[in-house]
Amino acid sequence: MGVLARIGSAVGIGPAPVTVTPSGPLAPRAGYMRDGRGTVFSRWLPALRSSRDDVAVAWTAAAARTVEMWQNNGWISGMIDQATANTVGGGLRLRAMPENDLFGMDEKAAQDWRKLVEAKWELWSNTPLECDIEGRLTIPQMTEAAFKMWVVFGEILAELPYRIRRGSKTGTKVRLLSPTRIVNRSDAFSRLHSGVRVDADGMPMSYVVSRDNPLTGTEEFEVIARDSYGRPKVIHVFSGLPGQTRGIGILVAILRVAKQFDQLADATLLASIIQTVFAASIESEAPTEDTLRALLNPKEQALLLAQGGTPFDIFMAAKDGWGEGHPIDVGFAGRIAHMFPGEKLQFHSPEQPATAYKEFSLHLLREMARCLGLTYESATGDYEGATYSSVRMAVNEIFAITKARRKFILSPFLQPIYEAWLEEKIDAGEIPFPGGVANFIANRAAACRSKWTGDPKPVADDLKAAKTHELYRNMGIMSDQTIADDLGLDIEDEYAQRARESGLREEYGLPDNFYPQSLTATEQIENQPDEGANDGGNPDT
């Protein structure tokens, strides 16, 4: 049917349109996003490309915006500090776990070797002159800075140079670098992706970085990822999807939210200031023209006739002159200007939407806290309405994120440092190893197997947590090692310390146990005063 025929049919002119009925039943429809032409999906058509390309395009702008927000937003800065404290704490502790069966060491020899390695590592890692190429930071301090870099930039960058200085015995050093040093440039022909050159399998081979030259300014050079022996020279840690060569900060998802929070705070402050500004209105039953003419004196009325103006123009000119001598300044509290003669002052102050502001601001804060892996209470310090059960459940869920970040972000940063240091110590003969350094290199992974532990999971009630540990231990499903891990302790160190204390108590004639043997830990806890007695017996308070 043509256009004219359709128009004529619509207005009742010409033959009616012929309706064609399908010969068979309608075919069933199914699938994802079937409403593709609706209001939800009609204009929602993002491009689908690899995460490597997405990071390459957005990395510089995302890093700059995140740094600016980190430096100028108190909430973001405080949340980053809290997330760092929860994850890093006082630093992750080395727990050496070599496969001693492969090296012919029995359990006793392996235990002595682990103690020696851990003691020497603690001494080296806490001496800035030994571990830091700049001689300023310890390994725990570097770990804290590295985690903040991961939060802001999405990656950790460091190198492992070798340099012996006066006053130091170890040549293995760590240089912590800003990820901005990697040149964000790509070249598909040479397999260079965002400054990382990879081989045919996608393994990083070298990094194109920039440095300051006092003579030529900024210059670029390339650093190999590993030396000829396979030892890492560059530490580059990030979390991402397969094929990704660079990381991106976790705050990218909430940059808009953080900006909205700033805008909300500014708008609320502006609304509060505007409320101090008042408007005056004239109340009269006479016509507007007569009212304005009555406000003019004879001289002003003569001027009105001579110039041919209107009473409104003369009245506003008089108000301008009056306002110059009687300014309204909201910067000084309590200042009230004298009004123009004949005006009645009436305040027009809209109510402040305090309730809406609070609810919306809490929503924004919760989203920012969730992105950083924090509970709302931990991120804001606001425990209003929180109960023991809610805090305990929130801590259990969030601590899983903390453990994952320790294992997948901080451990890959610390492990290459530990391996390079241990190789040097074995090569120098300070730490014995069966077969010497050659056997160590041949079995590097087995010899350097370790675990990095941090502060224990926070608990809302220590007594209830102790009772839970005791019940599980008595049921035979939890060992002393597991309990010590939950408390952030090393079971061997605790046993050794208890043995020393037992000997000291025997030497000084003190009882071996401070509690009666007939009273179990559970009974001791149950005999404690009931904390819920003052809150109506509610166990969640």
Distance, CA of 409 to CA of 267 (rounded, Å): 39
Residue 23 has pLDDT above 90, yes or no: no
* Beta-carbon count within 10 A of 518 CB: 6
Distance, CA of 394 to CA of 378 (rounded, Å): 10
* Strongest mean pLDDT among 3-7, 358-362, 449-453: 449-453
Give me the pLDDT at residue 280, please.
44
Instruction: Name the average pLDDT for the chain.
Output: 79
Domain contains 214: yes
8 A C-beta contact, residue 178 and residue 136: no
Running DSSP on this structure, what letter comes out for residue 181?
G
Average pLDDT over residues 150-158: 95
Domain contains 365: no
Distance, CA of 100 to CA of 112 (rounded, Å): 11
Residue 536 has pLDDT above 50, yes or no: no
The pLDDT tens digits of the residues spanning 424-481 come to 999 999 999 988 889 898 888 889 999 999 888 877 677 888 888 889 888 988 888 8
Give me the pLDDT at residue 209, please.
92
**Residues 466 and 445 both lie in one domain:** no
Domain contains 271: no
For residue 57, what is the enclosing H or E element? helix 51-72
**Residues 476 and 521 both lie in one domain:** yes
Give the distance from CA 321 to its chain's centroid. 56
The residue out of 451, 477, 510 marking a domain boundary is: 451
Average pLDDT over residues 396-409: 91
Give me the pLDDT at residue 86, please.
92
**Residues 203 and 295 both lie in one domain:** no
Give me the pLDDT at residue 324, please.
57
Distance, CA of 374 to CA of 83 (rounded, Å): 7
* Beta-carbon count within 10 A of 131 CB: 23
The pLDDT tens digits of the residues spanning 241-294 come to 888 999 999 999 988 888 888 888 888 777 777 665 544 455 555 566 666 666
Give the distance from CA 393 to its chain's centroid. 20
Beta bridge partner(s), residue 237: 156
**Residues 157 and 90 both lie in one domain:** yes
**Residues 441 and 476 both lie in one domain:** no
Distance, CA of 221 to CA of 208 (rounded, Å): 6
The structure tokens listed for 442 are 């041949």
Interhelix angle 311-325/298-307, rounded to 10 degrees, is 130
What burial class does residue 237 get, using C-beta atoms within 10 Å of its C-beta: 0-12 exposed, 13-18 middle, 19+ buried?
Answer: buried
The residue out of 306, 321, 346 marking a domain boundary is: 346
Q: What is the pTM of this model?
A: 0.73
* Beta-carbon count within 10 A of 58 CB: 13
Cβ contacts of 309 within 8 Å, gap of 6 or more: 303
**Residues 441 and 473 both lie in one domain:** no
Cβ contacts of 425 within 8 Å, gap of 6 or more: 120, 170, 431
Domain contains 188: yes
Domain contains 6: no
**Residues 447 and 501 both lie in one domain:** no
- Let me know the angle formed at the C-alpha of 256 by 250 and 257, rounded to the nearest 5 degrees: 85
**Residues 289 and 417 both lie in one domain:** no
Would you mind telling me the total number of residues written for the chain in this entry?
541
Cβ contacts of 272 within 8 Å, gap of 6 or more: 352
Domain contains 265: no
The structure tokens listed for 377 are 């209470």
Domain contains 388: no
**Residues 190 and 327 both lie in one domain:** no
8 A C-beta contact, residue 293 and residue 311: yes
Distance, CA of 89 to CA of 143 (rounded, Å): 10
Domain contains 18: no
The pLDDT tens digits of the residues spanning 27-43 come to 666 677 776 666 677 77
Distance, CA of 275 to CA of 278 (rounded, Å): 7
The residue out of 451, 485, 517 marking a domain boundary is: 451
Distance, CA of 357 to CA of 69 (rounded, Å): 21
Residue that has been written with the tokens 């992105």 in this structure:
371
User: What amino acid is encoded at 249 in this protein?
Assistant: G
Nearest to 402 by CA among 156, 157, 88: 88
pLDDT band at 103 (very low <50, low <70, confident <90, very high): confident
Distance, CA of 246 to CA of 187 (rounded, Å): 15
Give me the pLDDT at residue 378, please.
85
Distance, CA of 31 to CA of 428 (rounded, Å): 66
| Choice between 464 and 66, residue whose per-residue pLDDT is larger | 66
**Residues 304 and 215 both lie in one domain:** no
User: What amino acid is encoded at 121 in this protein?
Assistant: W
User: What amino acid is encoded at 473 in this protein?
Assistant: R
The pLDDT tens digits of the residues spanning 220-229 come to 889 999 988 7
Nearest to 453 by CA among 175, 97, 79: 97
Q: Give the total number of structural domains in the chain.
A: 3
**Residues 421 and 505 both lie in one domain:** no
pLDDT band at 8 (very low <50, low <70, confident <90, very high): very low
Nearest to 413 by CA among 159, 209, 202: 159
**Residues 240 and 319 both lie in one domain:** no
Running DSSP on this structure, what letter comes out for residue 26?
P
Q: What's the domain range around 423?
A: 51-253+402-451
8 A C-beta contact, residue 129 and residue 168: yes
Give the distance from CA 251 to its chain's centroid. 6
